[in-house]
Homo-oligomer: A and B are copies of this chain.
């Protein structure tokens, strides 16, 4: 079974964790991920997506001050081991490697053997606390194939910018996995922007959030999966636990990627720059 090609599968079953993480309680948070991976695997899921900075809790300033380079590396290894032990692919978000002053907010996709197949660093940091605690990424989202679907990673605020998902789509992404930390009051990000990203790029977007108060922030839940028709496959509301969606190769109806006019957009940007300077 392990080595059987799975590229002909009709769909990939995604599990998405929506839960509260305890800031800086890495062992406890990893235990939550492990329990979720076991439950998801037993439910037949192929892939588990988890929220932004879940292992550390969403507390940028406290992470920068208190989570060491070694602590990050240990958490990274532990998450790879969870995937391998539970036999499920896993997408997770952590501080990046290196000294705290140089770290990015990263996302990583590992297959069910625990092998890293894709990485990404958040290119749009949100607000002054993130900006003073992390460095912004600069690399475009890349694409890797998992179980016959081409996947890309973004993190949280990135997905609110159409330019980021477009960059993934033109590189061939069929599914964009987005660990996030969205606060209450901004649910339209999940319920308006995420479905639009899916529809305007003919792909699926999965958006996995915390729910509950962490470090004084009221995190909204509203984890969603939006399909290429712009409809929600699932909306976790404010529940705690796993939700599921079946991902498949998108049917392209209106071919936005073929009909877009990148040369025009470049010229428009140039015109505007000339006008403003």
- How big is chain A's contact interface, by range? 35 or more
* Option from B163, B171, B186, B256 in Cβ contact (under 8 Å) with A265: B163
Instruction: List chain A positions with a Cβ less than 8 A from chain B.
Output: 123-124, 126, 136, 138, 140, 157, 160-163, 166-167, 170-171, 186, 188, 192-193, 195-197, 199-200, 229-231, 254, 256, 259-262, 264-269, 271-272, 275
Contact across chains for B256 and A161 when beta carbons are under 8 A apart: yes
Chain B residues, CB < 8 A from A256: 160-161
CA distance A162 to B267 in the complex (A): 16
Beta-carbon contact of A166 and B171 below 8 Å: no
Which residue in chain B gives the minimum CB-CB distance to A162? B162
Contact (Cβ within 8 A) A229 B188: yes
Closest to A197 in B: B196
- Asked if B260 contacts A161 (CB within 8 A), the reply is yes
* Residues from chain B with Cβ under 8 Å of A268 in the complex: 140, 163, 167
A124 touches B261 (CB 8 A): yes
Question: Contacts A160-B254, A193-B230 hold; do A264 and B123 have CB atoms under 8 A apart?
Answer: yes
User: Can you report 20 A-B residue pairs in the complex whose CB atoms are below 8 A from each other?
Assistant: A123-B264, A136-B261, A138-B267, A160-B256, A161-B200, A161-B259, A162-B163, A162-B166, A163-B166, A163-B265, A170-B272, A171-B272, A188-B195, A188-B199, A192-B196, A193-B200, A195-B196, A196-B197, A262-B269, A266-B266
**A141 to B, closest residue via Cβ:** B268
CB distance from A104 to the nearest CB of B (A): 14
Specify the chain B residue showing the minimal Cβ separation from A273: B262
Within the complex, the shortest CB–CB distance from A190 to chain B, in Å, comes to 11
Q: Could you list 12 further interchain pairs (A-B, Cβ under 8 angstroms) beyond the known A160-B254, A163-B261, A266-B269? A: A123-B261, A138-B264, A157-B259, A160-B200, A167-B265, A167-B269, A171-B272, A192-B196, A192-B230, A193-B196, A196-B196, A196-B200
- What residues of B have a CB within 8 angstroms of the CB of A192 in the complex? 192, 195-196, 199, 230
- Whole-angstrom distance from the CB of A198 to the nearest CB of chain B? 9
Residues of B within 8 A of A163 (CB): 162, 166, 260-261, 265, 268
List chain B residues, Cβ under 8 A from A166.
162-163
Closest chain-B Cβ to A106's Cβ sits at a distance in Å of: 17
User: Which of A124, A136, A192, A256 is packed against the most chain B CB atoms within 10 Å?
Assistant: A192
Q: Are B259 and A124 in contact (CB under 8 A)?
A: yes
